[in-house]
Structure 1
Amino acid sequence: MSVPGRARGLVAAAVVIAGLALTAVVGAQSADRPTVQGIRFENNWPDSVTVTALVQNAEEIESATFLYAVLPEGAITREPAEIQSGDVTRVTAEFPTREPMIWIPAGADFEWRWEFRYESGDTYETDSQIWRYEDPRFEWESLHEGVLEVAYYQDRGVAEQMLREGLEALEEIAPFLGLDELIPMKVYVWANSDDARQVERIESESFEESVITGGTRVLADLVHIYTPSRWVVRHELTHVLTKLAGEGPYGDLPAWLDEGMATIAEGDWLDRRGGALQYAINNDLVLSLRSMESPSNRPGFVDIFYGQSAAVVLFLLTEYGTERMNDLFQAFKEGQSVNDALTSVYGLDREGLDNAWRASVGLPPREQEEDRSTRIEDDVIGGPEVADADDSPGEGDSESQAEAGAAQAREDGDRQAAQQSAEGSDTQDALPEQVEVSRSEDEIAERVAEIERRQDQRRQRPVFEVAEPFPWEYPLIGIAGALVLLSGLMLARVLAPRRD
């Protein structure tokens, strides 16, 4: 059915009018929303950042909040803003960057936006944007290649070396960790450790040890270099990879695995750590794998820790191959414990791997000392042998007597242990042999009788005795005698004849 021309014209006019009306409504709604005309970040290095925004259509705004999150994995932080009304409303927020609990490292990118709340309770958020927080004391430049960015302010040649060495390390180490895709990474290079003094976290306990290695990974995608060298950038970028490959929801990787892989990435690590490691092997001073789950800061053991960590990781790669190492990092990524991950991948627990590596360098298995801290010499008194003794108590009292015997045995055992400790190491060495000696039935019966005798002595009178009545008669007699003497003296004075 055809539509007459007049009708078609009316329909077209109606569509145009509806479109204009919709545009007017949308325009009115947009006009009512706050509009951020300008934004300024003021870097109050190194303590805070102040953000100021000029906002139009802010008459009905009741409050404003600055929302930001440090990328790539930071949680959203809300910072209340101050509103200053005028021809153009000024909104200002300040957030800390260098506090013990809140630290934003130089070079961090963070995503930010404003949230405005109206008097009606409705809220409006601006679009998210990215801003990079940098050390404002220097003019930073950047080099980019692949997934890696190197920021520098002084020597371009050094930055080019950092970029080249970093890319090589990523290419070499990623296959060991099973990483097919890498995230973008940033390296910020300071010319020396003095320039970097205000960069570290406030009251940081780790900065001094960071200077030892020349740098540190500060975020999942960000590395700081304080003393530029090829091995430092390779080491620290490997920490970005190990975190990406192995850190799960329940904690960090064991330090020996994390630092061992990073030390291997240095390439020439034996030149720095090999001497200390060989000395430790020659004198059986190597660390236990259990103690190496946290980094060692003990003087004289730092080089041993790094060298041994690298040696253990190399042992796993050499003996079991790259695929097993991939599986190990995946196990940690899934949240398995150290023992569970090692057992599921290699069939060795922590101690098993420790001894396997020791054997590979010619050391005997680590001795497992028996824990005798809960062994009591006289525990046998309360055991079945007492119940079978001729002089043992009857069935009705057996439970209470056994408890009393055990308590007395513990008391005597503690006293004997203290005496043996005072006598010297020879007596201590003989103690385990005494513990193993069994007693004859006569000795047991004699011991039980002694315990019963002591218990009876304890029951003869209460622990706290009632004191005897105070002998009040003695002080009263003394007072009475004094009064009689005083009365006699006064009477004698009265009766004495006066002399004219």
Structure 2
Amino acid sequence: PGRQVEVQVAIQVNSGRSYIPVGSEFKYHWEITTADGKTTSGPEQTYLFLPPNREWKSVKNSFMEVHFHGDREALAATYLKAGQETYDRLGQLLNTKLTQLPVRVMLFADEKELDPARPGLSSGAFDAAVTTCGAKVTNDIVLVIPVACGSSDRTDTLRHEFGHILTDAAGGGPLGQLPSWLDEGTAVLAQSSPGSGYISAFDAGARASRLLPFAQMNTPSSDAGTVNLFYGQAYAMVKFLVDNGGQAKFAQLFATIRKGTRFDDALKQVYGFDVASFEADFRTAYGVAAPNPTPVPTKPQKAQSTAVPTSRPATNASHGEGKHDSLDREVLIFIGGALLLALLAVFLFLLSALLSANRRAAVRDEQPPSPDWRRPPGE
């Protein structure tokens, strides 16, 4: 037998049935069993799967590695800094920490180089922020290219996709399921700016009273015509909760969902209102639903099934005027009742008099003629 044995193992990494993203780390060891039944095990080793034919380098911190090739070290350091800023800000907002370390960022030169490493969009969802600029492929691997998409900051793709990793750490898991608007809106919030495309689409939708019904915000948009509105509205919905409820409640919402509570129930537990009230207040805050002009509190309207909101009923009477009107009605009812009773009494009196006169006439007709009565002449 030979003293050296060479073994090769081929693994399919990107096909219709399997996908292993670049940046994955393999752990392996060899076991050799000889003819006499003796087994020898080698030490455990690691292999980092990176695209071939490139000399890959990396910059790293305590939780993230940015892999690059060529003379892009300064650019990679910029992405690493963006990752640190996102973790500091969004991690604090969600009160969460990463559970899978390190997060590996694969910085490709351009879209052509990125495409072979990216899985197909089998879900049909249209992620406008990352369709051409990058993608989160697992909870510890992000693929990006150094191109600005939607905002002027080209690191926003990393911030957005890293935001998804943090939202999953805060509210995901085997029991928790985040609605798409909450996941995507928080990821947009993680960016250095939401981008003019999202904001302008939302503003236009609000002005035209054509915001998406909240019931349609639970799943990502697959329509390229409304995707900017979806992301802009998701961002506005998240910002509404953060601005009005504060950071602690927002983090508590994610933690409650992570425990397995349905979103509708978690929203009511943490914020004290249901989805219908949330939608009504949100539309009012952005000028889509007309606010009630009176200080009299009214129950919020139930959410409508149409995207066009209806105005809340208005009233011109004040609380004091309502009491005065009620008093006038009582007086009118009293007077009317008295008049009715008086008319009834008069009617009964006249009826009694008429019956009495008829009885007297009948008695008179039945009496016999008096003794001095004489038949009139000519009869």
The residue type paired with residue 274 of structure 2 is: D
Counterpart in 1 of 2:118? 200
Q: Give how far 1:232 is off.
A: 1.3
The CA deviation at 1:180 is: 4.9
State the TM-score, normalized to the length of structure 1.
0.52
Q: 1:109 aligns with which of 22, 25, 38?
A: 25
Indicate if the aligned counterparts of 1:100 and 1:203 stay in contact, CA closer than 8 A: no
- The structure-2 alpha-carbon separation of the partners of 1:262 and 1:203, relative to structure 1 and needing over 3 Å to count, comes to closer
1:211/1:174 Cα in 2 relative to 1: closer, same or farther (>3 Å)?
closer
- On the 8 A contact 1:338/1:350 being kept in 2, the answer is no
Q: Which has the higher contact order (CA 8 A, sep 6+)?
A: 2
Corresponding position of 2:87: 170
1:468-487 equivalences under 5 Å are none
Q: Deviations over 1:334-368 (max 9, x none)?
A: 12222122122122333332222112212235653
- Residue equivalent to 2:155: 230
> Greater share of helix residues, 1 or 2?
1
> 1:203 and 1:257 mapped to 2: Cα distance?
21
Q: 1:106 to 1:87 in 2, by over 3 A?
A: same
> Does the aligned pair in 2 maintain the 1:187–1:223 contact within 8 Å?
yes
Query: Structure 2: any 5+ residue segments left out of the alignment?
Result: 148-153, 290-300, 307-379
1:410-489 correspondence to structure 2 within 5 Å: none
1:337 aligns with 262
Contact 1:215 1:227 in 2 (8 A): no
Q: Which moved more, 1:285-294 or 1:178-187?
A: 178-187
Q: Is the 8 A contact 1:97 1:103 kept in 2?
A: yes
For the residue of structure 2 that corresponds to 1:310, the secondary structure is: helix
- Conserved in 1, the CA contact under 8 Å of 2:221 and 2:227? yes
Match of 2:235 in 1: 310
Is there any run of 5+ residues in structure 1 with no aligned partner, and where? 1-84, 371-500
In structure 2, do the counterparts of structure 1 residues 206 and 302 end up closer, same or farther at CA, with 3 Å as the change threshold?
Answer: closer
1:324 partnered with 2:242: no
- What's the CA shift for 1:141? 1.2
Match of 1:73 in 2: none
Cα displacement (A) at 1:109: 1.4
The equivalent residue for 2:212 is 287
Give the deviation of 1:185 after TM superposition: 1.7
Which stretch shows the higher mean deviation, 105-114 or 295-304?
105-114
Q: Does 1:97 align with 2:33?
A: no
Structure 2 Cα separation of the partners of residues 249 and 221 of structure 1: 17
Instruction: Report the CA distance shift for 1:192/1:89 in structure 2 as closer, same or farther (over 3 A).
Output: closer
Amino acid of the structure 2 residue aligned with 1:368:
Q
Partners of 1:166 and 1:188 lie apart in 2 by: 13
CA distance, structure 2, for counterparts of residue 288 and residue 369 of structure 1: 7
Q: Which amino acid aligns with 1:272?
A: G
Q: Distance in 2 between matches of 1:304 and 1:121?
A: 66
CA offsets per residue over residues 112-165 of structure 1, 9 Å max, x none? 234567899998765433211001132211112232211111322321221222
User: What residue in structure 1 maps to residue 106 of structure 2?
Assistant: 188
Residue among 134, 153, 157 paired with 1:215: 134
Please list the CA deviations of residues 389-415 of structure 1 after superposition, one character each: whole Å capped at 9, or x if unmatched. Answer: xxxxxxxxxxxxxxxxxxxxxxxxxxx
Q: Is the 8 A contact 2:94 2:170 kept in 1?
A: yes
Query: 1:161 corresponds to which letter in structure 2?
Result: T
Distance 2:79 2:62 in 1: 14
Match of 1:368 in 2: 304
Match of 2:106, SS?
A: strand
Cα deviation, residue 248, structure 1: 1.6
8 Å CA contact 1:193, 1:211 repeated in 2? no
Amino acid at match of 2:56: W
Could you tell me which amino acid in structure 1 is paired with residue 231 of structure 2?
Answer: Y
1:265 matches 2:190: yes
